[in-house]
Amino acid sequence: MKPLSPLVPLKHKLFDKNQLSVYIKRDELIHPLISGNKWRKLKYNLIEFKHQNKKHLLSFGGAFSNHLLALAAACSENKINGSIIVRGDGPDPNNPTLQLAEKLGIKIHFTDRSSYKKRHELSYQQEALEQYQADYLLPEGGTNELALKGCKEILSEVIFQLGKEPDYIAVAAGTGGTAAGILSNLGSTELLVFSALKGNFMEAEILNLCNQHKDKLKVLETYHFGGYAKHKPELVDFINAFYLEHKIILDPIYTGKMMYGLFDQIQQNQYAPGSTIVAIHTGGLQGNLGFNYRFGDLIPNPIIPF
């Protein structure tokens, strides 16, 4: 096996005090634009796209979304025609995600909020495919059966690199697809899922995608900082302190909240001494550009070669 990203130990006095071995699986290093779990989710979809001789890929996303940019970059690298339906009134020429995506050549179609709400309906998807002359649909966030298959490999790589199953894996969740992929492959490990969204539906979402190993799944719903893409000063401070100490950039939408939550859980002595914990860095650092654009330069920017 040749792992796609390194697994590195994370050192912190809190971990020493609680006698924990903590690692970070650095999937953010896989690719600067097709980042982390979005790379994993696209992998088998791109293979299937080519295998089925499809011509035009269509998906949905938010105007700052990691999925949008990953898809744009993947289409560009694979010379695939791609379109994406974006929620919003129209192009914002200063939005860094849209700027990059446009340069990469993906076609962006804006739609209002009420149309965007229909994105999960089959009839709407069918219409959209016809309207944009596309023949392969990826749901929002890239989550489908083949995406889960790609995310499953995160756990195989971790076990290979660690030489054993970790006691815990920590991962952030949006659609829950990444968590569901890992869940489908679990042995003795417990899966800690930190929801980036406000509400108590995430466990059901994940089990709807993968109805296995329910006893190994623990969803934490209290680290959303006000809701999806919302933030508070504590989160910004945490991301900056984490960067200073570890030289690893976290994103404010997913991995920052996950890591904050994991530290908080450790502080509350949730994990027995001697435990091994692997946190998955699911990437998404391009989102820091959009975050800093909207809120002022609050957190570290990644270097994006472009």
Ligand X SMILES: *Cc1c(COP(=O)(O)O)cnc(C)c1O
Provide the 8-state DSSP code for 210: -
Strands 217-220 and 136-137: unpaired
Kindly indicate which of the ranges 92-100, 121-129, 169-177, 240-248 contains the residues binding ligand X, using the contact rule CB under 6 A: 169-177
Kindly indicate which of the ranges 31-39, 49-57, 107-115, 214-222 contains the residues binding ligand X, using the contact rule CB under 6 A: 31-39
Q: CA separation (Å) from 282 to 4, 30, 96, 131, 173?
A: 12, 10, 20, 33, 10
The minimum distance between CB 273 and ligand X, in angstroms, equals: 29
Residues 280-299 that bind ligand X (CB under 6 A): 282-284
Looking at 59, 97, 125, 255, which residue binds ligand X (CB under 6 A)?
255
Instruction: Assign 194 to helix, strand or coil.
Output: strand
66 lies in the binding site for ligand X (CB under 6 A): yes
Looking at 82, 174, 256, 261, which residue binds ligand X (CB under 6 A)?
174
- Report the Cα 16 to chain-centroid distance in Å: 29
Looking at 153, 157, 203, 251, which residue binds ligand X (CB under 6 A)?
251
d(CA 99, CA 61) in angstroms, rounded, equals: 15
Q: CA separation (Å) from 269 to 19, 58, 264, 266?
A: 11, 45, 9, 5
d(CA 263, CA 277) in angstroms, rounded, equals: 11
- What order do you get walking across the sheet with 168-173 strand by strand? 7-10, 21-26, 276-281, 168-173, 190-195, 217-220
The minimum distance between CB 151 and ligand X, in angstroms, equals: 7
Looking at 62, 82, 96, 141, which residue binds ligand X (CB under 6 A)?
141
Provide the 8-state DSSP code for 203: H
18 lies in the binding site for ligand X (CB under 6 A): no
Kindly indicate which of the ranges 50-58, 94-102, 127-135, 251-259 contains the residues binding ligand X, using the contact rule CB under 6 A: 251-259
CB 56 within 8 A of CB 137: no
254 lies in the binding site for ligand X (CB under 6 A): yes
Kindly indicate which of the ranges 98-106, 166-174, 209-217, 230-238 contains the residues binding ligand X, using the contact rule CB under 6 A: 166-174
Looking at 177, 252, 256, 300, which residue binds ligand X (CB under 6 A)?
177
CB 20 within 8 A of CB 271: yes
Backbone angles phi, psi at 151, to 5 degrees: -75, -25
The minimum distance between CB 68 and ligand X, in angstroms, equals: 10
190 lies in the binding site for ligand X (CB under 6 A): no
**Quick one: 22 or 69, whose CB is closer to ligand X?**
69
59 lies in the binding site for ligand X (CB under 6 A): no
The minimum distance between CB 23 and ligand X, in angstroms, equals: 17
Which residues form the interface with ligand X (CB under 6 A)? 36-38, 66-67, 141, 143, 172-179, 251, 254-255, 282-284
